[in-house]
Structure 1
Amino acid sequence: MLWLLTRLRLLRLVNLFGAVSRLSFGAKSKRDAHRPQRTGTGRKKGVGLLAGLFLGGMMLFGFGVMAKQSLRNLHHTLVVQAQIDAVGGADGVSEAGEKFRQTFERTAVEPVLLRATTGLIALLWVVAVCNDLGTRELARPEWDMEWLVTLPIRMPTLLWARLAERSVTSLFALLSLLPLLLVLAWQQVSPGWLVPLMALAAALPLFALAALLRSVVDIGLRLRLAPARLRNLQALMSVLGLLGLYLALSVGSSQGASLGVSMVSESPGWLLWTPPGLVVQALYAGTPWQALVLLFAAWAQAGLLLAAGVAWMHRQLRHGLLSGGSREAGTRGPGVARSARGGWQLPLRSPVQRRELLLLARDRNFLVQTLLLPVLIIGSQIVLNGGTQALGQLFSGPPALIASIAFGLASYMLMLSAFQTLNTEGAALWLLYTFPRSVGSVLRDKAALWAVIALAYPVGVLLPGALHMAPGAGWRYLGLGLLALAGVPLFSVIAVSLAVFASDPLAQERSARVRPGFVYLFMMLSGFYGYGLWAAAWWQSLVILLLVGLLALALWQKANDALPFLLDPVASPPAQPSVADGLIAATAFLVLQLMLSALWRVFQPDRPGAGVLVSFVAAGALTYGLARLVYWRAGVKTLPSLLGRAGQRSAAVREGLLWGAAAAGLGAAYLLALRQLLLMPEAGAAVAPALRIGLAWLCVLAAPVFEEFIFRGLIFAGLRRSFAWWPSAAASAAVFAVVHPPVSMIPVFFLGLCTAAAYERGRSLMAPMLVHAVYNAVVVGLQFGWPGR
């Protein structure tokens, strides 16, 4: 029985590690797109086990490094610093500092260090128990004990098997306790094969006691509390476990005294004679016999507590598992009756938003993780490492720091809420497809709701920061604050869009319904936007804002295309150009230019001007050819037309010349105004005639062909599938302007509007190419001079 339960639990952990290790972004090959997919659990392969072992080893190594730093910090703060204060003088400080560098030698341990180490072990043990109780297993309607009791074995044997299984399969206990005991054994015991045995012998009684407390609470509360109260307790345990973990991490993450160091150093003396204190004394013992006696005492205490716990649980279960009536009641609660009598209603327009808030209020664990967890994570890091005075100093810091914290809180909250919009539907996701409205409109209401809720976090940070802001930083702080606020609705859209691709509603396990690769993608995009808050120049922040805004539109469009096929394991959205394709093509165009230009400088360092022309034309041709090849293989039929139909070419030429004259007129007026203001001198005298010819070819022929294919044929046309002309033209013109030098953003933005109008009226790419060519010919001619001049 023991081996059966342990094997089942270990297989489950391996499967979960394997699911986490598959960082796929949902891409499927064309061969697999038309093949029926199984909805059950497939045959497990060895790669999942290897990936799980690798991730587990990396986590143990990381916790081991933190454990070593914690022990060093305790020794330095409680022992070395006390000797420095007692000796005094430069010689005393030098001698104590040398002893600190030679720390962890096998000498008699100070009583204060012994108590502090015991307190740290006890704190980590409590953290492990709270985190185990904070998992969703406690509040699940199904209870594995209900089928375990049907096995033909006696109840005491089943309970002992449950304790043994939970003792060796608790990830929280393994990651929190074992690394610290390994480091302690390595420093205090002679290195060799005895070190892991001593650490394991010291860890097993603590693992068993953690499993005992978890099982006692699990059985006792399930028999007495309703599921709603169990969910409340689960949420409370998750919060306590998180706070305790950060409190323990503060012992090693901060140099000198901290709140964690102060707490563990004040541990009571009687704690030394409990199992955590006995195992610490065993590892600090001077002789092997003393260590064995202390370990035996720890095992004896743990055995007595385990026997008492098993007897108590057996007594609790003497009348069966369902005697407490813990199933959900079917009667209406008083809140429903008051609502039926016309009580207070939330002033929300959409029923979807009211339902989302109702589900948030009912699921206590989701409520805590969504609204409270971001504040706890960031706030506890600040308080535990810097003290309560760090909060006051935070608002006196640089404006970029306050703005980044404000946006970080909102983005983390969106990752835990808006990113779960489809996952929270669970097996009832198909009901959304029966509503008399599109699923995309439902997700739009959810994105708007979570954006409004998430805006409370940056507002709550930015307002106190404005009161403490130093004089002279007001305008910069206002700009960064607006930038942080503008990122909240954008990332709400991004989170909801990525949730469509990250969701796997056909997965049997709840933990496997979200592909973790998209979570990392959301974090990476949030970090990219956070970089804009620290950018040195304003135009760099503006570029990042526009790119993220266009990315949000692209992801929203792709998500809407995929929604009708979300529950179909065989079919996929039809291939057609989109905004995302334009962004990919623009990125590829830029990267290829940089790579080819670098190669040219290696082989032809004396001809940089020709290198610019060659790299631009080659990168544009490669991007155009690769895009056409991808579209041909995907079977896309609605590609942007280069010349259009025969009957439309005259109209395309007319529109191109008309809008080109308008764009060129504005560009010439803008350039002459800059010269009158002495902001842009004429550069023609400094340009060689051969280089002028290259610039003419580049700006009048190459740039219109390749850039218009990307910005109008892909980005504008992709936006036009989902939006009206004006927002589509403005968005494509904005991203077209930001890839040019800041001094030319205004006329280039107007050029983007003119090319969009010509493409809309001319129905082919020839029209915007003519607009672009006319504009570049006039502006380049005025700035650098014509080749024959």
Structure 2
Amino acid sequence: MRPGSRAGPGAVAVVRLLLANAWRRGQGRRARARQIARVTTSGRSSGLGGFAILFVMALMMAFNLVAALAVRDVVLAGQRVEAERHGRMVVDDDFLRQAIDIHLRVLGESSSWSRVDGPPPLPYRSEASSIAGETHGDAAAIERRLRHAAFNGRLVARSRAMPGLASSRAYAGYPALLATIVLLVWLLALVLQGEGLELDAQQRRHPMWEWLLSHPVAPGSVFAAEMLAPIAANPMFWAAPLLPAVLYGMVYDPMLAVLAGLVVGVPLTVAAACLGKALEIGVVLRLRMRTRGGVAGLLGWLGTLAFTVVFVGWGATVPIATALAGPLRGLAALPWPALGLMLGYRGDGGFSFGAGVLACDGLSGLLIVASLGFATWSARRGLSAPPEPHALVSSRLLARPIRFGRDPLIRKELLWFARDRGALVQAVLIPGSMAGLQMFNLRGLAAGAGDGWNTCCCAAILFGTYFLAVLGPRSLASEGTALWIALTWPRGLESLLKTKARLWTVLSSIMVAAVLAYAAWRFPDDRGAILLVAAGWLPFARSMARKAVTLASVQGPSGEAERIPAGRRYAVYLGTLTFATGVQTQQWQVAFTGIVFSTLSAAAMWQNFRARLPYLHDPWSARPPTPPTLMHAMIAITLLVEIGAVLGGIALALAGTGFAAIAWTLGYGLAATGVALGVARFLARRDVPARAVWCWTRGSTPDNRTPANPGTASLRAWIAALAVAALLGVALGLLARLYLDGLQRIPWVHDLLQHERDRIASVPHLHDAYLVLAVLIAPPAEEYLFRGLLFRALDREWGGWRAIAGSAVFFAIYHPVLSWLPVATLGAVNALLFKRTGRLAPAVLLHMVLQRGGAGLSRQRRRTGCTASPPVL
């Protein structure tokens, strides 16, 4: 360095460089937030592109504009409440003019209408409907109140009762209180988000200036840049002056509104940025390590919640103001001068632009000075914080008895909540907020949740499902490398993850139970159906939690969790829409199908996850589970149904509606044959010959015992197995006939069966087509898929009666509802027969005998499902 040269860059250059670095840091934080929220479509973590920046800016401008309009709307709503509190009813100006005109003409007895007909009626119904649309009230009750108020002369025009910000009634009482609340929410959204939304509460954040002070630069410049960093990093601050500009435009002329955005909005923005940064510095330097992550996450969550509340509550200001009028009546009596000081209200009905600017700038200056003072105090005393009492806290928590659950793994999860202050934010607040944000995106469904118990329950299911899908990966990622300590435990990591799934099920069920309790209180006549939804939610939530826990991944070389493939993330949601749709449409068979499909898909994901579990730290060495797996079976069965529906639709379009049954039969037959041959070829390429599927070979059971060795079975045993299968088929056919006779005694079922008999009889050769499909095509294909693949995989995963019941129920849900009981019985018997004999052929024979059945039953069973009729039929 030459003599006389400067020791470092100047103050302006330091501030400029550090603010540019804050902008890049904000880009990284937004990319990290998108990665955690799992909304990215690629693995890149680069900053936002040009179009994305424009979108973010438009969103932030919309936020500030909506906040300004919310201030206006709550003032109008508060003025309505104040008018109605004095016994008046606010109506449209035209309605009031009509009422006054009719009243004056009646008093003057100089009317132009006929005395026989009387005066023309007022449009009470339309006015009541308009008021009900604003307040979300009962139109009939409002119409009665409206008629009573008109008769007693208690009507007041909207323009007089609700003058808005230009009237003195906006700066006192209930309107001033509501406006203050909205302004505080807006300010919290700015202050608490700081440099941007931080979803990773476990990340340890440190102020950059603590390291930069070691450089040869002026400390004051570094400190000033750090306090202004939120403005450079968070686009929300760029659009913040829009709110005071819009509010001033509602009171003053447009030129003064633009000036207010500069002289009022900019100082308020700087003050909010300094206050947010001062809080962050205080949290990082003054709180202990175990606490700072939780507090930082809580502050970020509150900022995001405030941001969301502005958008959500803007369209419902009148109902919210009406609902809060009673609880906030005592507070409304206090003075709330925030809005008046901000807009320069003098108290005598006039406004002063200079007074408003002076008040806002003075408040901004006080906030900036207080923020700088608090940040300086935190920085000076930060290094003198008391040491972390690790041993004391741990021993105290371990010595405290835990009554909830005796399982040590449950205690471990509860200790995680007790030790880590950020656990509540990670596991409850952030997932719940994300779920709430998704419900806001589906606000049409949420708005209609109050219209019926089914819509309310459907919203609860979607909320709980998204909560579990977000909670699983976040909870696992929050523990970092500590999660994998369980690899050395005697019980292993699998037990730990299943315990986590049980805990997540409890957390989500508490939230869903609150919504269902509200539905039961709102719709007392439908409590039985709501209890049925609650009973279905428990197994569904357990399956969802088990699927979410399979998304566990280790930390990569960079310290971040490995990216989860999109297909595995989407598989978690399997069955959700089916369950929710069944509840919404009140079709219980569809809801039950969604629960069964979610349970089986959870077992399939766990089977694949168990094979991948020992290789989480070495994924390149992992090998897929031995085929055929449960996932193979479920995909094959789904393809059978979907392809059969497509081919049946094509055949129906070619043959016409008169041959609909034959078209669907042909489509299902071709699909069954094609899928069975395709799966057999797929498995053959993976060293699984057809004989390994049709015969139960050694090593296919969990305990590696062989139920029967088909290769050494004698001819007598083979003939005996076929004879037993035929006899069982006849017996099941008789039971199916008794079942059908019982259904015939139900009137509506009898009419349905009679209609089906008449329709089938009207189509020529339909009976022969059904016989060919039911006897020659359906049994081999269905037994190959449901027993050879599905039951074998379930027996390897679950074993025992649980595998038998699971395969039987999954077999039944692909058939008509009336056939569920006999079809499930057939599935359970064939599963036992397949496992005991070691061969699939006896199960196929039993299926054929049952399908052929009696001649009187064969014409009815195809569409009514009294036997294992094709799923697409």
TM-score interval for Structure 1 and Structure 2 normalised by the shorter chain: 0.7 to 0.9
2:578–2:591: 8 Å Cα contact kept in structure 1? no
- Equivalences, count: 741
Q: Bigger shift: 353-362 or 523-532?
A: 523-532
User: CA 1:696–1:402 in 2, change beyond 3 Å: closer, same or farther?
Assistant: same
Report the 3-state secondary structure (helix = DSSP H, G, I; strand = E; otherwise coil) of the residue aligned with 2:49: helix
Alpha-carbon spacing, 1:299–1:554, altered in 2? closer, same or farther (3 Å): same
Query: Which residue is equivalent to 2:18?
Result: 5
Cα 1:407/1:257, change in 2 over 3 Å? closer
Aligned residues of 2:431 and 2:471 also touching (Cα < 8 A): no
Please list, as runs of the form range in 1=range in 2, the aligned pairs for 1:79-228 lying within 5 A after superposition: 91-92=94-95, 109-112=166-169, 120-132=182-194, 135=198, 141=204, 143-145=206-208, 146-170=210-234, 177=240, 203-228=265-290
Alpha-carbon distance change, 156 to 655 in structure 1, aligned in 2, over 3 angstroms: farther
Which stretch of the first structure deviates more once superposed, 775-784 or 79-88? 79-88
Relative to structure 1, is the Cα distance of residues 416 and 333 closer, same or farther in structure 2, using a 3 angstrom cutoff? farther
Secondary structure of the corresponding residue to residue 333 of structure 1: helix
| Partner secondary structure for residue 702 of structure 1 | helix
Cα distance in 1 between the residues matched to 2:268 and 2:317: 28
Give the distance between the partners of 2:567 and 2:262, measured in 1 at CA: 35
Is the alpha carbon distance of 1:161 and 1:469 closer, same or farther for their aligned partners in structure 2, counting shifts above 3 Å? closer
Unaligned runs of 5+ residues in structure 1 are: 29-40, 383-389
**In the alignment, does 2:767 pair up with 1:692?**
yes
Q: Which moved more, 1:205-214 or 1:447-456?
A: 447-456
Q: Which residue of 2 aligns with 1:728?
A: 803
Q: Is the 8 A contact 2:291 2:422 kept in 1?
A: no
Could you tell me which amino acid in structure 2 is paired with residue 14 of structure 1?
A: Q
Larger mean CA deviation between 682-691 and 421-430 belongs to: 682-691
* TM superposition shift of 1:666: 1.6
The equivalent of 2:150 in structure 1 is none
Aligned counterpart in structure 1 of residue 671 of structure 2, from 619, 622, 625: 619
1:692–1:246 CA distance, 2 compared to 1 (3 A): same
1:521-563 deviations in Å (ceiling 9; x for gaps): 6567555433343342433332222222222222222222222
- Aligned AA (2:765): A
Q: C-alpha distance in 1, partners of 2:250/2:660?
A: 61
> Hey, what does 2:27 align to over in structure 1?
14
Shift of 1:74: 3.5
Q: Compute the displacement of 1:149 (Å).
A: 2.6
Equivalent residues in 2 for 1:446-595 (5 A)? 446-452=500-506, 454-457=508-511, 470=524, 473=526, 475-497=528-550, 499-500=551-552, 503=553, 505-506=555-556, 508=558, 522=572, 526=576, 528-574=578-624, 576-595=627-646
Structure-1 separation of matches of 2:169 and 2:561: 44
Q: Find the structure with the greater CA-based Rg.
A: 2
1:352 to 394, 397, 409: 409
Determine the structure 1 residue equivalent to 2:851: 776
Q: Which has the higher contact order (CA 8 A, sep 6+)?
A: 1
Q: In 2, are the aligned partners of 1:182 and 1:196 still within 8 Å (CA)?
A: yes
* 1:739 shift after superposition: 1.1
- The reply on whether 1:706 has 2:781 as its aligned counterpart is yes
The C-alpha deviation readout for 1:13-71, integer Å capped at 9, x for no partner, is 4345446667999999xxxxxxxxxxxx997668x636854873685587478558736
Q: C-alpha distance in 2, partners of 1:77/1:669?
A: 68
1:269–1:257 distance in 2 versus 1, CA, 3 Å: same
CA shift, 1:213, in A, is 0.9
Structure 2: distance between partners of 1:154 and 1:656: 93
| Aligned-partner residue type, residue 775 of structure 1 | L
Q: Which amino acid in 1 is paired with 2:789?
A: L
Deviation string 1:486-506 (CA, Å, 9 cap, x unpaired) is 433333323323x33xx3522
Correspondence for 2:392: 333
Aligned CA distance change for structure 1 residues 586 and 10 (closer, same or farther; 3 Å): farther
Instruction: Provide the C-alpha distance between the structure 1 equivalents of 2:200 and 2:544, rounded to a whole number of angstroms.
Output: 31
Distance 1:245 1:45, change over 3 A: closer
Give SS of 2:538's match: helix
**1:753 pairs with 2:828:** yes
Question: Aligned partner of 2:338: which letter?
Answer: L
Q: Which residue of 1 aligns with 2:151?
A: none
Q: Residue 504 and residue 186 in structure 1: after superposition, are their counterparts in 2 closer, same or farther (change >3 A)? A: farther
Note if 1:683 corresponds to 2:757.
yes
Do 1:404 and 1:484's aligned partners in 2 also have CA atoms closer than 8 Å?
no
Residue 419 of structure 2 is matched in structure 1 by 362
Return the alpha-carbon distance in structure 1 between the equivalents of residues 806 and 211 of structure 2: 58
Q: Deviations over 1:555-589 (max 9, x none)?
A: 22222222222222423332533222222222222
Q: Which runs of 5+ in 2 are unaligned?
A: 1-13, 99-126, 132-156, 440-445, 696-709, 863-873
Residue by residue over 1:349-382, the C-alpha shift from the partner in whole angstroms, topping out at 9 and shown as x without a partner, is: 3322211110111223322554577889999999
Matched, 1:271 2:338: yes
Deviation at 1:430, TM superposition (A): 3.6
Q: Taking structure 1 as reference, are residues 568 and 646 closer, same or farther at Cα in structure 2, changes over 3 Å only?
A: same
Q: Contact 1:419–1:495 at 8 Å: present in 2 too?
A: yes
- CA distance in 2 between counterparts of 1:221 and 1:757 reads 63
CA contact (8 A) 1:692 1:784 kept: yes
Q: 1:468 to 1:315 in 2, by over 3 A?
A: closer
State percent identity of aligned pairs.
22
Q: For the structure 1 residues 172 and 532, does the alpha-carbon distance in structure 2 shift closer, same or farther, using more than 3 Å as the test?
A: farther
Mean Cα deviation higher: 617-626 or 131-140: 131-140
Cα distance in 2, alignment partners of residues 631 and 785 from structure 1: 37
**Aligned partners of 1:562 and 1:572 also within 8 Å:** yes
SS, match of residue 574 in structure 1 = coil
User: Secondary structure of 2:385's partner?
Assistant: coil
Contact 1:250/1:258 (8 A) holds in 2: no
Aligned counterparts of 1:60 and 1:693: Cα–Cα separation in 2:
68
Tell me whether 1:56 sits opposite 2:53 in the alignment.
no
The offset of 1:241, in angstroms, is 4.3
- Preserved CA contact (<8 Å) 1:2 1:165: no
The Cα shift of 1:646 comes to 6.9
Work out whether residues 10 and 169 of structure 1, in 8 Å CA contact, stay in contact via their aligned partners in 2: yes
2:847 is matched by which residue type in structure 1? H
Question: 1:23-38 to 2 correspondence within 5 Å?
Answer: none
Report deviation, 1:748.
0.7
Kept in 2, the 8 Å contact 1:168–1:207? The answer is no
Q: Give 1:666's aligned residue.
A: 732
Alpha-carbon deviation of 1:731?
0.5
Corresponding residue number in structure 1 for 2:706: none
1-structure distance, mates of 2:856, 2:690: 34
- Under a length normalisation based on structure 2, what TM-score does the superposition of the two structures give? 0.70
